[in-house]
Amino acid sequence: MNVCRACKRKKLMMFLPLGLHPLAQNFLNKNQLNKPEYLCPLDTYVCLSCGLIQVCDCVPPDYFRNYLYVSSTINTMLKHFSDFADSLAAEFGTSPDLLTVDIGCNDGLLLKSLDRKGVKTLGVDPARNVNEIVRREGLNIINEYFASGLATKIKKEYGSAAVIVTANTFHHISDLDSFMDGVCILLKDKGVFIVEVPHAMEIMEQNEFDGIYHEHVSQFTVKSMVDLCNRFDMEVFRIDTFEVHGGSMRFFIRRKESDELSEAISEWITKENKRGLFQASTYEAFHRRVKSMKVELMDLLRRLKQEGNNLVGYGASARGNTLLNYYGIGTDLMDYIVDRNTLKHGLYSPGMHIPVCPVEKILKDRPDYVLALAWNFSKEIIKQQEEYLSLGGKFILPIPELSILEHS
């Protein structure tokens, strides 16, 4: 990489080489285990001009046609999107004449909540498997990748959008220019484009290296989002923050009304500057911490194994697969992974080939330790597994720093 995909400047620095990795959601069936697996270098760069963290695009064109992540299996996300729908309806109204488009709608959590309020909605998502879930709910959805050509078709058939939302999708987009062209075509003159993504500052400060994988081609700072919008004559006018996914930001964007940044947005960029997000030394220190974290956890797991303990994982997540593959945790240390997502049951994790089982297996087997691979939902997981903890089980939380949780 030599050009930043957000600001287009040539100030990239490679700071976190994680080695060869499989695609993080490319779970395998039993027949695929002995076949060659698609691997690609997971080298992480940062633009020292705008702070965008980015990886090269190694994802095949049709990869997202069959996507195994679904939001509705996570209680935290159910509430998050319900609250989001409440705020959208309160702020922008529920007139049937005002179209809200959800790009990357997944299994339709936000669409369903908005539809119940009478909001006119349209979903866009390339994943055929999860789109069937949305269609069974009677909701409008287009099974396609969003870009300028599709935006033109939507505008012709449905009219311009008053609100365009993309939640936990924008950081999957490698061709940001084509996506933004589409937004500019589809959005009403006074419309609002809302982007929800993890905040790069939280990734750095909370040691969230596991949020970096091939499907997450970009991790945004406020400055990188501002610089991207500037190139399309748009502006960020508001930012809300949330704890989901380890720390996320919701950007409110509109067609540019002023060449001057608002005081609130300027303060965000000043904060990022003070935290060192545009300085090479910050990322060099992050690399050192990540290597140290690997040594610390692997020493613990090997010691526990030598003492006769058994270990399983919780959360067949993409971020969990970054950790498993970078650390080299396989079936010699971890017996299996549990997950509530039934689409993954009976499959094997990419790279390390650890079997994925239903969550109920934890109480049945009562393993000595559970490594929380989906640590970003640890509050929800711990609450679900109170009985396991009460029976003497222990959870290992690997991030932001190593800790062991047991029943008090």
- Per residue in 277-292, pLDDT (tens digit) is 999 999 999 999 999 9
Q: Which pLDDT score is estimated for 399?
A: 96
Residue/partner pairs of 37-42 with CB below 8 Å, 24 or more apart: 37/350, 37/351, 39/351, 40/214, 41/17, 42/17, 42/18, 42/212, 42/213, 42/214, 42/322, 42/326
Q: Which pLDDT score is estimated for 93?
A: 86
Q: Which pLDDT score is estimated for 94?
A: 84
Closest CA to 170 of 201, 191, 146, 188: 146
Q: How far apart are CA 386 and CA 322, in angstroms?
A: 27
Q: Cβ–Cβ contacts within 10 Å for residue 271, how many?
A: 12
Q: Which pLDDT score is estimated for 284?
A: 98
Encode the chain (408 residues) as per-residue pLDDT tens digits.
Answer: 889 999 999 999 999 999 999 999 999 999 999 999 999 999 999 999 999 999 988 888 788 777 666 676 677 778 888 898 889 989 998 888 899 999 998 888 889 999 889 999 999 998 887 777 778 888 899 999 999 999 999 999 999 999 999 998 999 999 999 999 999 999 999 999 999 999 999 999 999 999 999 999 999 999 999 999 999 999 999 999 987 766 789 999 999 998 899 999 999 999 999 999 999 999 999 999 999 999 999 999 999 999 999 999 999 999 999 999 999 999 999 999 999 999 999 999 999 999 999 999 999 999 999 999 999 999 999 999 999 999 999 999 999 999 999 987
Q: Which pLDDT score is estimated for 74?
A: 72
Q: How far apart are CA 27 and CA 330, in angstroms?
A: 14
For 101-148, the pLDDT digits (tens) are 999 988 888 899 998 899 999 999 988 877 777 788 888 999 999 999
- Going along the chain from its start, the domains and CATH numbers come out as 12-53 (no CATH), 63-278 (3.40.50.150), 281-406 (3.40.50.720)
Contact indicator for 167, 104 with CB cutoff of 8 Å: yes
> What type of residue is 401?
E
Q: Cβ–Cβ contacts within 10 Å for residue 206, how many?
A: 16
Residue with tokens 């720093």: 401
Q: Which pLDDT score is estimated for 73?
A: 67
Contact indicator for 100, 121 with CB cutoff of 8 Å: yes
Q: What is the DSSP annotation of 278-326?
A: T-HHHHHHHHHHHHHHHHHHHHHHHHHHHTT--EEEE---HHHHHHHHH
Q: Which pLDDT score is estimated for 70?
A: 66
Q: Which pLDDT score is estimated for 79?
A: 87
> What type of residue is 325?
N
Q: Which pLDDT score is estimated for 245?
A: 65
Give the predicted TM-score (pTM) of the model. 0.92
Q: Cβ–Cβ contacts within 10 Å for residue 342, how many?
A: 10
Q: Which pLDDT score is estimated for 137?
A: 82
